[in-house]
Amino acid sequence: MLNHREKRRYVAIMYDASETFRPFQLYEKIGIRFKELFGIFQMQSAMLKLYDSELGNIMIVRCKLKYLDCFLVSLVLSEPPLTVISISGTLKKLRKNVSKMDFRNIKNIRS
C-alpha cells in the first residue's frame, strides 16, 4: 500500500505593519473566521499552521490543498484586511518567490 501524503499549500500573506496585530493574532482571527464559516471539523482537517516568513510584514500559513478555497475565503473575509501575495507547494519555494519580490517597494506602495 502506498504511503499517501495529502498535498499542502503554503500561502504568503501581507498584513498592514501599522496595525497593532501581530502575526499569531492575525492567524487566530483567520482561524476563528474559518470555524464560523465552514465549521470546526473542516478547520481541523485543513491543518493550518503559522510560519515565520522572516520578511517584515509577511506571514506564511500552511493549508491542505483540499481546503485552500475555504482558507482563502476566510482570509479575505477577515478583519483587518490581509492580502495573499504568493502561494506555493513548498515552503522553500514560497520563501524564494517572496524574497524575489522587491520587498521594500511592497511596503512603500500607497494607492
Residues that bind another protein (CB under 8 A): 14-16, 33, 36-37, 68-70, 72-73, 75-85, 87, 101, 106, 109-111
Instruction: Please identify, using beta-carbon distances, which residue of 2 and 30 lies nearer to another protein.
Output: 30
Q: How far apart are CB 4 and another protein at their closest, in Å?
A: 24
Kindly provide the residue ranges of all beta strands, DSSP E only, lying in 15-106, ordered along the sequence: 49-52, 58-64, 83-88
Closest to another protein by CB, 3 vs 105, is: 105
User: Quick one: 61 or 70, whose CB is closer to another protein?
Assistant: 70
For 4-18, the DSSP string reads: ----EEEEEEE--TT
What is the smallest separation between the CB atom of 101 and another protein, expressed in angstroms? 7
Residue 72 C-beta: closest distance to another protein, Å = 4
| Amino acid present at 6 | E
Going edge to edge, which strands form the sheet with 83-88? 49-52, 58-64, 8-14, 83-88
In the structure grid, which three cell numbers stand for residue 57, read together?
A: 510584514
Q: Which is nearer to another protein, 47 or 76 (CB)?
A: 76
> Considering Cα of 64, then 71, then 22, then 47, what sign does the dihedral take?
negative
CB of 16 to another protein, least distance (A): 4
DSSP assignment letter at 3: -
